[in-house]
Amino acid sequence: MKFMKKALIIGGGVAGPAAALFLKRAGCLPEVFEAEEEPNPYGGLFLNVGRNGLGVLDELGVGEAIRESGFEMRVMSFRNGAGKQLGAIGDPHKPHGVTVKRSLLQQVLLEQTERENIPVSFGKKLTGIERSGNEITAYFHDGSSTTGDFLIGCDGIHSRVRKELLPDAAPPSFTGLISFGGFSRVQGLAPEPGVQNMVFGKRAFFGYLVKEDGEIYWFGNMSMNGTPTRKSLQSIPEAQWRKTIDDLYSDDPAPILDIIQGTDANINAYPIYDMLTQPVWHTNRAVLIGDAIHAVSPNAGQGASLALEDALVLAKCVRDSEHIHQAFALFQQLRKERVERIVRYSRSIGQRKHATSPVQVFFRDLMLPQFLKASNKQSLSWMYDYPVRWNEKVSQLNGGSVC
Ligand SMILES: Cc1cc2nc3c(=O)[nH]c(=O)nc-3n(C[C@H](O)[C@H](O)[C@H](O)COP(=O)(O)OP(=O)(O)OC[C@H]3O[C@@H](n4cnc5c(N)ncnc54)[C@H](O)[C@@H]3O)c2cc1C
């Protein structure tokens, strides 16, 4: 890239601030525009940042802050609704990442943008985009607008930027599952460092971990018909949620009900959508990254990590390309195969969570131990050990590319 470029970054979740930080290093002038009025400390539950995502956070100098407040993930231990151990996956000697509150990950990234004097504006919900010559203009809900040299859509799964750039793009698909959960404490429940407990309950899936200080992070997944939205789930009164969830797990082993009852604030619920990706990720002046172009369901714990990888790889492409449209094309070429593989992998895990009829449950419990054994033998190194280093030049090889 030969001269300074003003980069308009739409969305201040995970991909947005990370892209701004790397683009500044690449010599651009990034500016972030976020729809929410302010950072929300209750914006979401928790998510996994895999070894691959932590590597990107280390490149930004914030990996330690996440490791310190997160929960190191080593082993996932699976039981069925009768309390029978079905197996475990993972390596007790090699963490595959950390579980962290989503709001904390966002906060750490936003604080870093502040330290690096990158402007971040809240209350800027994008409503439209206009391209003219070598410039691109973003229009916001409050009537304001801003013009830059290029634009990055980091506005999540229901991306407005995607609708503007790719009006014919297939929408995200509802996986048929909703996720709900919260933060809890249960007297006498011992911390289990490194262990995430997963229970294929009689009617729904349940996961939890107990931190050293006794705080419990928990989530449940249940099947739902239709196409619920985050808003429609939020409108369900808290008491109704509690009753539904208590009934759902009433026949499952301890400590599930104790954990739900010990939840200290509202139970947070959202529908799980995913999107395999789109044939095209960019126009000449704008590109989509993170959930805006390839949304992974949370089953594989890779949504945030892929968004972070995207941010780094995109900025390297901008740094090492002559023209911005070449950078965007190279970015798509480098990322498409990997993200599609992870979206598919995550879908395959989610499908096992749907089993609720006695016959389905019988066969799942029969097959799952074999599946877990096979998973343990099969290395997930392709997912967790993806090398993305800022100092290495991005280049195209014959028929392929390296990042
Ligand atoms: C409120 C919220 C809660 C979440 N909770 C969880 C969770 O508990 N567990 C989990 O695994 N994943 C959760 N996710 C998804 C997870 O954060 C992403 O999968 C992952 O981090 C990828 O990051 P991203 O930056 O691509 O998208 P996101 O993290 O979704 O960030 C997108 C950002 O764009 C903003 N935005 C949206 N529309 C506009 C617009 N028109 N103009 C400007 N800004 C806009 C959003 O407010 C958001 O801050 C949540 C996402 C959100 C938005």
* Ligand 1 centroid, distance to 292 Cα (angstroms): 9
* Ligand 1 centroid, distance to 133 Cα (angstroms): 31
Residue 230 beta carbon below 6 angstroms from any ligand 1 atom:
no
Residues 71-123: pLDDT tens digits?
A: 999 998 999 888 888 888 888 888 899 999 999 999 999 999 999 999 999 99
Residues 299-333: pLDDT tens digits?
A: 888 999 999 999 999 999 999 999 999 999 999 99
Percent residues over pLDDT 70 in the chain: 92
Average pLDDT across the chain, whole number: 90
pLDDT for 100:
96
Q: How confident is the model at residue 402 (pLDDT cuts 50, 70, 90)?
A: very low
Residues 197-213: pLDDT tens digits?
A: 999 888 899 999 999 99
For the segment 253-275, the average pLDDT, to the nearest whole number, is 91
Is the confidence at residue 253, as pLDDT, over 80?
yes
Token output for 13 = 């979740």
Determine the residue of 108, 267, 291 to mutate for testing ligand 1's pocket, defined as the one with the most ligand atoms within 8 A of the Cβ atom. 291
Is the confidence at residue 175, as pLDDT, over 80?
yes
Q: Point out the ligand 1 atom lying closest to the alpha carbon of residue 36.
A: 47
Q: Point out the ligand 1 atom lying closest to the alpha carbon of residue 140.
A: 42
Token output for 185 = 């404490």
Residue 14 beta carbon below 6 angstroms from any ligand 1 atom:
yes
Name the residue among 108, 104, 255 with its Cα closest to residue 188. 255
Instruction: Name the fold adopted by 174-273.
Output: D-Amino Acid Oxidase; Chain A, domain 2 (3.30.9)
Those residues with Cβ within 8 angstroms of residue 298's Cβ, 6 or more apart along the chain or in another chain = 47, 48, 179, 272, 346
In the CATH scheme, what architecture does the domain 6-172+275-384 have?
Answer: 3-Layer(bba) Sandwich (3.50)
Do 335 and 204 form a contact (C-beta atoms < 8 A)? Answer: no
Token output for 23 = 């683009």
Lowest mean pLDDT: which of 12-16, 148-152, 175-179? 175-179
- Hey, whose CA ends up nearest to atom 38 of ligand 1? 155
Angle (nearest 5°) at CA 64 between 60 and 65: 90
pLDDT for 172:
94
Token output for 290 = 């993170």
Name the residue among 157, 142, 136, 167 with its Cα closest to residue 8. 136
Q: Where are the domains of the chain?
A: 6-172+275-384, 174-273
Those residues with Cβ within 8 angstroms of residue 376's Cβ, 6 or more apart along the chain or in another chain = 87, 88, 89, 90
Say how far apart CA 332 and CA 282 lie, in whole Å: 8
Is the confidence at residue 266, as pLDDT, over 60?
yes
Q: Point out the ligand 1 atom lying closest to the alpha carbon of residue 15.
A: 25
DSSP state at residue 156: -
- Hey, whose CA ends up nearest to atom 13 of ligand 1? 44
